[in-house]
Structure 1
Amino acid sequence: MSTETQNVPVSPEDSQLAEIFKTEANEAFKKQDFNSAIDLYTKAIEKNPNVAIYYSNRSFAYIKTECFGYALADASKSIELDKSYIKGYYRRATAHMSLGKFKEALKDCEYVTKVRPNDKDARMKYSECNKIVKKMAFEKAIAVDDNKKCIADSINLDAMTIEDEYIGPKLEDNKITLQFMKDLMKFYENQGKLHRKYAYMILLDIKTYFMKQPSLIDIPIGDDDKFTICGDIHGQFYDLMNIFDLNGLPSETNPYLFNGDFVDRGSFSVECIFTLFGFKLLYPNHFFMSRGNHESATMNQMYGFDGEVKAKYTAQMAELFTEVYNWLPLAHCLNKRVLVMHGGLFSRDDVTLDEIRQLERNRQPPEDGPMCELLWSDPQPQPGRAASKRGVGCQFGPDVTRAFLELNGLDYVVRSHEVKDDGYEVAHDGKCITVFSAPNYCDTMGNLGAFINLKGKDMIPKFTTYMAEPHPDVKPMAYANALSSFLC
């Protein structure tokens, strides 16, 4: 029995229309209007579903919008239509890598090097991917030893001296003060680098703090007290500073919750994370941080944070960050009325707040289950559930949101995780709110950023939006490894 894909009969008129749609889609892609490009590639595919390049191009647009599950399916379809179509293998490798599936990516890279043995770019990508696979295999082998010493225990602060020429902010009696934070932010705005000793001290202190916290944090808010929720920051430090300019510095009377994805993509991630960790240590009961899907080793390896920490500090510190991120809380419940998590809801109907509270979080995010879904899931407009466009987590409809809220006695949920043109979106009959705080995401998307203010009495969300701030000429993904060229 033949395994060849059978072409669908297509009229000359439809074939011509498909090419017109593809050309328009390519123009939209060049303008970085990726959603329009996806719509136009889809129209091309509807007119002529036999052309590999339509699927491959749509796969690339899906990669740009972080819909890695859809990207994977399209790349595989392009290969199914044309076994010799090299770009299809590259797209599939990219989708696999974006999901942390480096072994699968390696197979596609290996195929390309066999077909194009003289292609230097193909060999480089294969080599980089192979390095990661070998590194992961090594780490898995040594992880079998349950007594493996953690990085935090190996840090010797006494051996680190503060050089006379260091002119940056200094901790007072090894404690963070408001003045230290003000000095640090100003120092960062002028592209200074916090001394490694203070950086390590902050990381060790914040790890100790987070280790004592539950996976779900309950936050009381007084009737007349203001509370602010921010979404993804993604290493956009100068936009973070703008949030504080617009809404005031964090304090005991101006509490904040930052809802994950503090790092990656933006090339000022180190500055963002130390600013946020600093405020958390300064105001532990009035400044909160949730884990996002980018607070993980594979995402950091792929999207720049790992490389940035190694460039600005050391590989040891990059490993310490991974340990710290493993202890970040997974969700916050405000006044027992609003649940805030980075991603979204669940593939099961019976998940309770108590179950979230008891989740074992000290690990890398699993590929399924409640912890994965808290970090990765997305809402959809239609009822029910669907496979995730990202290839991880699930998509959940308004009926799923309503049932979850009723089960747990909540008013609505707030999540982040998705770029929105206006910086926020109210969906599911007002019961599911998305907030995204990185304007002009990756210097390309043109979106506004937003944050939410609410008061304890009524918990009604009010939105503030803002445009992107200028920043020094360091491009997004500047510190990403060689594999990031797959994403370009």
Structure 2
Amino acid sequence: MNDNGTSDMQKAEELKAAANAAFQAHKYPKAVDLYTRAITLNGNNVVYWANRAFAHTKLEEYGSAVADATKAIEIDQKYVKGYYRRGAAYLAMGKFKEALKDFKQVARIVPKDPDAMKKLRECEKAVQKMKFEEAIASGEHDRISVAESLDYHTIEVEASYKGAKIEGETVTLDFIKSMMEEFRQQRKLHKRYGFQILLQVRKLLMALPSLVDVTVPENGQFTVCGDVHGQYYDLLNIFELNGLPSNENPYLFNGDFVDRGSFSVEVIFTLFALKCLYPEGVYLSRGNHESKSMNKIYGFEGEVKAKFNERMVDLFAEVFCCLPLAHVLNGKVFVVHGGLFSTDGVKLSDIRAIDRFSEPPDEGLMCELLWSDPFDGLGRAPSKRGVAVAFGSDVTKRFLADNNLDLIVRSHEVKEEGYQIEHDGKLITVFSAPNYCDQMGNKGAFIKFKAPEFKPDIKVFEAVPHPNVKAMAYANNLLSLFG
């Protein structure tokens, strides 16, 4: 019994009910907290563990989801929902083989459940497809890249095409404005111009170092945006609020331009075209979603295939491998998509030395730059995502001191107010996709800096309406099967 005469088990059930309500309201951090309190009172209830696993999945904390589902299975080896939850988390991580093992276990426990059998068959098909693609990829070492074999001049523009056109070789502001309006009206860019933009931006990006130094002149301004995630109409709103990018109004977009939101093609062509027009007015960092594995699961690959073709999917993958990994603004502010490292002593020169022209590896500096997260504590901890590391305020302060920097700006995590200041003011998370995935209800934000002081001025904004195409419309259908 606790102080008010209620048993711990009763109190735990009340907390579970409150957590379920928070979950239904898309308040996933609150749900995790309430399930955690229920688990503290009654750690042998498998439902609490499985429900918290599902809440972690919604927060993209797949490592934590796997750990919670595994705990539920340890308590009850025949608890079907534990295998479901763990399998779904593995799917979200792209670990199809591990997911398949869990769905096979579900089928053994409930062999006559038609829903379980349907999901098992879908997962088996996905694994077979993955094995086939791996077999093809293993023989592709000598394959000529799309970029090196494609001549966009040979692609005919039909007389019936009335959309935005690039006259000659140069991307102009008039073209970009026309293209953005066409996109706003849900009309497509001709593939010739899409390929042209991709080839031109690839050339620009390839010439950049892995760590880009940006110099903002005296009294100049600079804007940093976080994840946009295919939310094109919110990107247009940022430009309404803060002006179009230009050499006088420069922007850095800090990764995760694509996936989840269903207007990723429109976002990425807008940003890439602006980069072509203003090489020193638009800076782009790679995020963890600028990768083949993420694009295959979270919608970008499906969207490019639906709006263009497979060849363009391959060219996007090549261009994403050219994106820089981090930026330093005026020698003071370190901007990176994810975060810091599993070891101390990393210098800016180590980041400059990274050979980034590949798909992101599963470990090492490049992986950690794209995937790590801060946490409210000291030292390091396992990442909730199951990839890279969680780092504390002491790690942040040591990295800044070692490299004579003042501040870290990173993105990678949805925040209710669009931003969060942590680690005694030395680290800011900025996230620029409001009402993320059409359901989180969060605000978006961007950060403005002015030289020479370079103090962060955070601007918060709300989501704007978009056409009736839901988030994840092009995502791998396995994800929708598992909620």
Would you say same fold, with TM above 0.5?
Answer: yes
Per the TM alignment, residue 209 of structure 1 is displaced from its structure 2 partner at its CA by 2.1
The Cα offsets for residues 21-52 of structure 1, whole Å up to 9 and x where unpaired, read as 11111111111111111111112111111111
Q: When the two structures are superposed, what TM-score results if normalisation uses the length of structure 2?
A: 0.95
The letter of the residue matching 2:89 is A
What secondary structure is seen at the aligned counterpart in 2 of 1:58? helix
Give the secondary structure class of the aligned counterpart of 1:141. Answer: helix
Which residue of 323, 330, 345 maps to 1:335? 330
Pair 124,274 (structure 1): closer, same or farther in 2 beyond 3 Å:
farther
The 1-side partners of 2:121 and 2:201 are apart by: 36
In the alignment, does 2:470 pair up with 1:475?
yes
Indicate conservation of the 8 Å contact 2:344/2:395, yes or no: yes
Partner of 1:83: 77
Deviations 1:422-441 (A, max 9, x none): 11111111111111111111
- 2:399 pairs with 1:404: yes
Aligned residues: 478
Q: Which amino acid aligns with 1:41?
A: Y
The residue number in structure 1 matching 2:307 is 312
Give the whole-Å Cα distance in 1 for the aligned partners of 2:13 and 2:240: 49
Matched, 1:418 2:422: no
C-alpha change, 1:382 and 1:89, in structure 2 (3 Å) is same
196, 201, 209: which one pairs with 1:201? Answer: 196
Q: Report the alpha carbon displacement of residue 192 of structure 1 after superposing the two structures with TM.
A: 0.7
Aligned ranges 1:334-483 → 2 under 5 Å = 334-483=329-478
- Report the TM-score when normalising by structure 1: 0.94
Q: What is the root-mean-square deviation of aligned Cα atoms in Å?
A: 1.7
> Structure 1 counterpart of 2:307, which letter?
K
User: Separation in 2 of the partners of 1:117 and 1:148?
Assistant: 44
SS in structure 1 of the partner of residue 202 of structure 2:
helix
Match of 2:49 in 1: 55
Deviations along 1:65-117, one digit per CA (max 9) or x if unpaired, are 11111111001111111222222112111211222222111211222234444
Contact 1:417 1:436 in 2 (8 A): yes
Change (3 A) 1:270 1:403: same
Alignment partner of 2:20 out of 18, 26, 49: 26
Letter in 2 for 1:17: K
* CA-CA distance at 1:205 after TM superposition: 1.8
1:63 touches 1:487 (CA, 8 Å); kept in 2?
no
Greater shift after overlay, 472-481 or 314-323?
A: 314-323
Per-residue deviation, 1:160: 2.2
Equivalent residues of 2:91, 2:479 under 8 A apart: no
2:176, 2:273 within 8 Å by CA — same for their partners in 1?
yes
- Determine whether 1:299 maps to 2:294: yes
Task: Provide the residue aligned with 1:246 in structure 2.
Answer: 241
Could you say which residue in structure 1 is the equivalent of 2:104? Answer: 110
In 2, Cα distance between the equivalents of 1:202 and 1:123?
45
Identify if the C-alpha distance between structure 1 residues 97 and 42 changes in structure 2 by more than 3 Å, giving closer, same or farther.
Answer: same
Shift of 1:144: 4.0
Residue identity in the other structure for 1:436? F
Aligned to 1:74: 68
CA contact (8 A) 2:254 2:336 kept: yes
SS across alignment from 1:451: strand
**Structure 1 residue aligned with 2:124, among 130, 147, 159?**
130
Q: Give the direction of change, closer, same or farther, for the CA distance of 1:197–1:118 in structure 2 (3 Å limit).
A: farther
Which of 160, 178, 183 is matched with 1:183 structurally? Answer: 178
Shift of 1:319: 2.0
Give the corresponding residue for 1:235.
230
Matched residue SS, 1:87: helix
Q: Distance in 2 between matches of 1:61 and 1:446?
A: 16
Q: Is the 8 A contact 1:64 1:487 kept in 2?
A: no
Q: Which consecutive unaligned segments of at least 5 residues does structure 2 have?
A: none
**Judging changes above 3 Å, is the alpha-carbon distance between structure 1 residues 120 and 201 closer, same or farther for their aligned structure 2 residues?**
farther
Structure 1 gaps, min length 5:
1-10
Give the aligned partner of residue 216 of structure 2. 221
Structure 2 match to 1:6: none
CA distance in 2, matches of 1:94, 1:424: 28
Task: Pick the aligned partner of 2:150 from 155, 167, 179.
Answer: 155
Contact kept, 8 Å, 1:55 with 1:78, in 2: the verdict is yes
Which moved further from structure 2: 211-220 or 130-139? 130-139
SS of residue in 2 equivalent to 1:429 = helix
